[in-house]
Amino acid sequence: MKFLVTGGAGYIGSHTIVELLNAGYEVAVIDDFSNSNAETLENIKKITGKDFSFYEGDVCDKQLLNEIFKKEKIDAVIHFAGYKAVGESVEKPLMYYRNNIVSTLSLLEVMEENNVYKFVFSSSATVYGKPHTLPIKEDFPLSATNPYGQTKLMIEQILKDLRTSSDKWDIVILRYFNPIGAHESGLIGEEPNGIPNNIMPYIMRVATGEYDKVHVFGDDYDTIDGTGVRDYIHVVDLAKGHVAALEYLKDKNGLDIFNLGTGNGYSVLQLIDNVSEVNEVDVPYIVDDRRPGDIASCYADPSFANEKLGWKAEKDIKDMCKDAYRFANKQKSKKIIK
Ligand code: WQD
């Protein structure tokens, strides 16, 4: 079977391609390198020893998409491509709505024109807004507090309406919690452009000496130590969840939604402590004001994915911290050589 992976040069996309190739599937990739680079694709080949087709371009480009579907025998699509920085989405809502919504509509229209109806969508726990209780289940109320989250909610609604319109569509929506870590080779990982918005890449820049300290956004939340609690999940476990979703789609009809999390929550300070302990490195921090829009705690009930997909996160927080640091150090040594 061959899968089209949009945004395949990105953090989660690249790790998913590794697992798909390792599982013996064929892959075609489209990416515009707006938040990724070509080196990642070469590293996927180094890790797996396998090749795949690649098309540089924008998922909004229906002509390019049609070329791909005509040239490649695509059985299903995993759609990662999209902008994902919460803060940037508040500053540039039109850019986010255009890119994230139009790219998805273009992709779905071309799929329909080419009789491909199996679709896995990269959604996010951000669609739960501020949960009324924990752990979070898939049937919890949905809300968005920023344009990025709105685009995920809107696309989920588009997919639900699409499935209602025709039972030809087989759709899986995967709601990620907080992906961190890197492939054990240290060749691929999370490397955001500019100053990282997310906590783990920021911690990594402090741990490798690029920044002097972590800014902890608030320590007055109603949590174990006052800092924000999140469900961190190893990106390789997340990638394996996508392989499980594609295998589920082989004979499933309908639309299903799954939380991809570990079910365990860790605070910011607990994460910092784990990075420091596992890697024997100092991670200085300072407590600052809360970040507007942040919630106190968020962690998943992953039992539905465990039951239906036969998938469960296997790596623990120490694996995540060790693998993230190995990648960060390799990145640092590359910068020094340049
Ligand atoms: C985690 C914790 C912060 C940075 C976001 C998106 C979500 C998904 C993952 C795309 C919080 C604290 C953070 C820092 C800090 N992205 N923090 N100092 O906000 O849970 O989720 O990224 O799909 O959709 O909403 O992740 O890593 O930004 O924050 O103290 O420099 O770390 O307050 O408690 P978040 P995060």
Measuring CA to CA, which residue among 96, 218, 79, 86 is closest to residue 144?
86
Residue 68 class from Cβ within 10 Å (0-12 exposed, 13-18 middle, 19+ buried)?
buried
pLDDT tens digits for 116-131? 999 999 999 999 999 9
Residue 243 belongs to some domain of the structure = yes
SS3 content of the chain, % helix, strand, coil (to 5): 45, 20, 40
CATH value at residue 90: 3.40.50.720
Q: Label residue 26 by pLDDT band (50, 70, 90).
A: very high
- Provide the pLDDT for residue 50: 98
pLDDT tens digits for 211-270? 999 999 999 999 999 999 999 999 999 999 999 999 999 987 799 999 999 999 999 999
**Ligand 1 atom 22: the closest Cα is on which residue?**
198
Residue 176 belongs to some domain of the structure = yes
pLDDT tens digits for 254-304? 999 999 999 999 999 999 999 999 999 999 999 999 998 899 999 999 999
**Residue 205: CB within 6 Å of ligand 1?**
no
Residue 314 belongs to some domain of the structure = no
Give the Cα separation of 68 and 88 in Å (integer). 31
**Residue 114: CB within 6 Å of ligand 1?**
no
Residue 24 belongs to some domain of the structure = yes
Angle made by CA atoms 54, 59, 62, in degrees to the nearest 5:
105
Chain mean pLDDT for the chain: 96
Q: Quick one: which atom of ligand 1 is closest to the CA of 148?
A: 24
- What is the tally of structural domains in the chain? 1
197 C-alpha vs ligand 1 centroid, how far in Å?
7
pLDDT tens digits for 92-102? 999 999 999 99
219-223 long-range Cβ contacts below 8 angstroms, 24+ apart:
219/269, 219/287, 220/290, 221/290, 221/296, 221/297, 222/296, 222/297, 223/267, 223/296, 223/297
Residue type, position 207, single letter: A
277 C-alpha vs ligand 1 centroid, how far in Å?
21
Residue 45 belongs to some domain of the structure = yes
Question: Using CA atoms in the order 158, 164, 165, 171, what is the torsion angle rounded to 10 degrees?
Answer: 60
Residue 295 belongs to some domain of the structure = no
- Provide the pLDDT for residue 335: 79
Instruction: Give me the percent of the chain exceeding a pLDDT of 70.
Output: 99
Contact 213, 204 (CB under 8 A): no
For residue 182, the 8-state DSSP code is: -
**Residue 268: CB within 6 Å of ligand 1?**
yes
pTM: 0.97
Question: Over 80: is that where the pLDDT of 190 sits?
Answer: yes
Q: Could you confirm whether 148 is annotated as catalytic?
A: yes
Residue 122 belongs to some domain of the structure = yes
**Ligand 1 atom 7: the closest Cα is on which residue?**
126
**Residue 202: CB within 6 Å of ligand 1?**
yes
Mean of the pLDDT values across residues 30-46?
Answer: 96
Give the Cα separation of 289 and 220 in Å (integer). 9
Mean of the pLDDT values across residues 316-320?
Answer: 98
Q: Tally the residues of the chain.
A: 338
Question: Over 70: is that where the pLDDT of 58 sits?
Answer: yes
Instruction: Out of 11, 83, 128, 148, pick the active-site residue.
Output: 148
H or E segment and range at residue 250: helix 235-251
Structure tokens at 168: 């030809």
Q: Label residue 11 by pLDDT band (50, 70, 90).
A: very high
Residue 141 belongs to some domain of the structure = yes
Encode 103-125: b = buried (16+ Cβ within 10 Å), e = exposed: bbebbbebbeebebbbbbbbbbb
- Provide the pLDDT for residue 338: 62
Angle made by CA atoms 82, 24, 302, in degrees to the nearest 5:
55
Mean of the pLDDT values across residues 2-30?
Answer: 98
Q: Label residue 193 by pLDDT band (50, 70, 90).
A: confident
Q: Label residue 196 by pLDDT band (50, 70, 90).
A: very high
Q: Label residue 336 by pLDDT band (50, 70, 90).
A: confident
pLDDT tens digits for 146-187? 999 999 999 999 999 999 999 999 999 999 999 999 999 999
Lowest mean pLDDT among 25-34, 85-94, 97-106, 328-337: 328-337
The range of the structural domain enclosing residue 47 comes to: 2-182+232-261
